[in-house]
């Protein structure tokens, strides 16, 4: 890792998305569905039967116990929140802790001091455009600093968050595109004008970077993420996380008409910020929405003249970029 500062802590990229909660440590990204519940105490009521949702993770934080990840809604009432201020609530902390443990790169607790972390967190562009609300959310994230003691599936962990850096979510995809895992920059990076189209669960985030500077005229976004597609599909009264799980597994198959209707909303929002896609050196679709739309999105953008860079894993692109940002720019 030439010419990089050597931090005194383990750098963690953290993407607290409303669809996926992801972390990246040492270049390795892992994700779990952003779903959380409080498991019901049923005693021996299930004796003789298998318990549904057994693949979900059990997280214990102080006096709280949560079930997180896919299938958690089968163990108790879903408590997943789409509110930005939920990021420091116990359910959200449980998701963060589960993601850290699931990575396999955080050692179990021992007699040694807690593992010290430097965390780079990505927040959605529509939130950051509202300065007053964004400042409140960013200020609240300071509460994450300090020691955290938790259990995931009966394994104990201790971490100490020493530093937090907040960036716009699309910065992650840009950093992942701009630098390889050895932090070598792409040729002529300083001249490249790179557009990131981040389609998350709740929002579409639009961001353009050139010469390591944000081009303000091209910043935009709208609440037309994957949630909008799910709203176009009948949910039959089920919770959003259940319908999302069906979409991921392929049990829910939106029609071409529904996908086209959703894509048209995304393109309309994009047009308001980017009048032409031909001007950009690269257009990077990322997020769960890019994964859902796949080739349909690629072909549509290509038809509009976009030079597309489609990440191998659109869900991991942001969080891998957050990790690269932290390794490159967070000084010891």
Q: Going residue by residue through the chain, which has 332 residues, state the pLDDT in tens, using 9 for 90 and above.
A: 345 544 578 999 999 999 999 999 999 999 999 999 998 654 333 343 344 446 899 999 988 999 999 999 988 888 877 777 788 899 999 999 999 999 999 999 987 889 999 999 999 888 888 899 999 999 999 889 999 999 999 999 999 999 999 999 999 999 999 999 899 999 999 999 999 999 999 999 999 999 878 888 899 989 999 999 998 886 677 888 999 999 999 999 999 999 999 999 999 999 999 999 999 999 999 999 999 999 999 999 999 999 999 999 999 999 999 999 999 987 54
Strand runs (DSSP E) across 111-258, as ranges? 115-123, 146-152, 155-168, 193-199, 204-210, 213-214, 220-222
Q: Return the DSSP state at 314.
A: H
- Strand order of the β-sheet with 64-68 is 28-33, 20-25, 10-16, 115-123, 155-168, 146-152, 57-61, 64-68, 36-37
Give the pLDDT of residue 81: 78
- List all residues 6 or more positions away from 39 whose beta carbon is below 8 Å from its beta carbon: 58, 65, 66, 67, 75, 76
Its pTM stands at 0.90
Q: Does domain 188-312 have CATH number 3.30.420.40?
A: yes
CATH 3.30.420.40 fits 10-169+319-329, yes or no: yes
Q: What confidence score (pLDDT) does residue 173 get?
A: 96
How, if at all, do strands 36-37 and 28-33 pair?
unpaired
pLDDT at site 54: 66
Instruction: Quote the pLDDT of residue 235.
Output: 65
* pLDDT for res 1: 39
- What is the total residue count of the chain? 332
What does the DSSP assignment read for 87-121?
A: GGSHHHHHHHHHHHHHHT-SPPP-SSPPEEEEEEE
R_g of the chain, CA atoms, integer Å: 20
Q: How far is CA 315 from CA 91, 169, 291, in A?
A: 22, 12, 7
Q: Distance (Å, rounded) from C-alpha 319 to C-alpha 15? A: 6
Domain spans in the chain, listed from the N-terminal domain onward: 10-169+319-329, 188-312
Same fold? 10-169+319-329, 188-312: yes
């Amino acid at each position: 890792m030439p010419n990089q500062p050597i931090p005194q802590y383990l750098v963690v990229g953290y993407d607290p998305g409303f669809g996926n909660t992801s972390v990246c440590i040492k270049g390795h990204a892992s994700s779990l569905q952003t779903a959380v519940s409080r498991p019901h105490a049923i005693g021996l009521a299930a004796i003789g039967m298998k318990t549904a949702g057994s693949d979900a993770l059990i997280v214990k934080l102080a006096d709280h116990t949560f079930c997180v990840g896919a299938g958690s809604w089968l163990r108790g009432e879903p408590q997943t929140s789409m509110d930005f201020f939920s990021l420091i609530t116990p359910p959200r902390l449980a998701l963060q802790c589960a993601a850290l443990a699931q990575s396999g790169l955080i050692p179990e607790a021992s007699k040694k001091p807690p593992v010290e972390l430097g965390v780079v967190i990505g927040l959605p562009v529509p939130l950051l455009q509202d300065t007053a609300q964004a400042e409140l959310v960013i200020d609240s994230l300071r509460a994450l600093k300090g020691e955290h003691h938790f259990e995931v599936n009966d394994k104990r962990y201790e971490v100490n968050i020493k530093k937090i850096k907040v960036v716009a979510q699309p910065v992650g995809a840009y950093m992942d595109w701009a630098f390889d895992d050895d932090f070598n920059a792409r040729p002529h990076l300083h001249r490249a004008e790179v557009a990131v189209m981040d389609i998350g669960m709740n929002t579409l985030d639009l961001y353009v970077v050139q010469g390591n500077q944000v081009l303000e005229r091209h910043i935009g976004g709208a609440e037309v993420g994957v949630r909008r597609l799910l709203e176009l599909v009948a949910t039959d009264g089920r919770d959003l996380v259940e319908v999302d799980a069906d979409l991921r597994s392929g049990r829910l198959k939106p029609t071409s008409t529904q996908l086209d209707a959703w894509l048209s909303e995304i393109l309309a929002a994009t047009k308001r910020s980017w009048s032409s896609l031909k001007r950009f050196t690269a257009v990077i679709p990322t997020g769960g929405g890019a994964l859902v739309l796949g080739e349909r999105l690629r072909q549509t953008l290509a038809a509009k003249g976009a030079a597309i860079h489609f990440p191998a894993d659109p869900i991991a692109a942001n969080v891998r970029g957050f990790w690269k940002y932290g390794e490159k720019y967070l000084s010891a």
